[in-house]
Amino acid sequence: MKIKIFPHIKRIFTSSPLVLAYKTLLFLVMTTFFLFSLIVALFPQQEKFSQSLWSMLQHPDQAETHVALGNFFLAQGAQMLAKQEFSLAPALANGPGKEQVLGAAAEGLRHADGESKLLETDLADWQKIISEKPDYRDGYIQAAFLAYRLKNLDAARMYIDKALLLDPNFETAKTLQKYISQ
């Protein structure tokens, strides 16, 4: 038999709502922390870009900052911006470490040029595939994407139009068409 210590005091509410509120709050805090950690882990490029851009704004006359920004642009697939930054670096290089800066800029330019040559080769391969199989809509999408990356917007629009002729409800083609037309 259970003995009541204070029989004259009645319980107004039990502790279960407080425990439930505590567990819910703990779950929400842990979920928020996990999602924040996941977002930070998935998008570190924004921080690198911010650091490179801030460095560029603080020291626009240093070649190293142009090389760092060029490397970031190259990693993001923006060959034209990377080439611009790499071509600015040699003009600003002076003093000790000039050879390193010149070497890094030349390597970056070679990499950017090599990437565009690789894109051109891939585009030629996809053009061959769609010439052999003219009803292959995904081939037109790949060709449009590669033409867009090579800054050939007219060809990209043509490939998108052909893909939409084959499948007017193809959402990927519609999305790419909106993106290219911007």
Tell me the pLDDT tens digit for each residue of 17-73. 778 889 999 999 999 888 887 776 776 655 666 666 666 666 666 667 767 777 777
CATH number at residue 96: 1.25.40
Q: Which of 82, 115, 148 is the last residue of a domain?
A: 115
Quick check: 161 and 143 in contact, CB under 8 A?
no
* pLDDT of 132 above 70: yes
Quick check: 88 and 66 in contact, CB under 8 A?
yes
180 domain-assigned: yes
Residues 55 and 111 in one domain: yes
- At 153-173, the pLDDT tens digits run 898 899 989 988 998 888 888
* pLDDT of 98 above 60: no
109 domain-assigned: yes
Q: Which of 115, 142, 169 is the last residue of a domain?
A: 115
At 50 the pLDDT is 67
Quick check: 173 and 137 in contact, CB under 8 A?
yes
165 domain-assigned: yes
pTM exceeds 0.75, yes or no = no
Q: For residue 45, how far is the Cα from the chain centroid?
A: 7
91 confidence band (pLDDT: 50, 70, 90)? low
106 confidence band (pLDDT: 50, 70, 90)? low
Residues 52 and 86 in one domain: yes
Quick check: 140 and 159 in contact, CB under 8 A?
yes
pLDDT-wise least confident of 81-85, 109-113, 146-150, 166-170: 109-113
17 domain-assigned: no
Residues 55 and 101 in one domain: yes
Residues 68 and 109 in one domain: yes
92 confidence band (pLDDT: 50, 70, 90)? low
Tokens of 156: 């990209």
83 domain-assigned: yes
At 56 the pLDDT is 63
Phi, psi dihedral angles at 26 (to 5 degrees)? -65, -40
Residues 71 and 97 in one domain: yes
Contacts of 94 (CB under 8 A, 6+ apart): 63
* pLDDT of 95 above 60: no
4 domain-assigned: no
Segment 6-23 mean pLDDT: 74
Report the first-to-last Cα separation within the chain, whole angstroms: 79
- At 27-36, the pLDDT tens digits run 999 998 888 8
Q: Which of 115, 150, 165 is the last residue of a domain?
A: 115
Quick check: 150 and 127 in contact, CB under 8 A?
no
Range of the domain at 140: 133-182
At 114 the pLDDT is 62
Report how many domains make up the chain.
2
Residues 51 and 111 in one domain: yes
* pLDDT of 135 above 80: yes
The mean of the pLDDT values for the chain is 75
160 domain-assigned: yes
Residues 104 and 51 in one domain: yes
38 domain-assigned: no
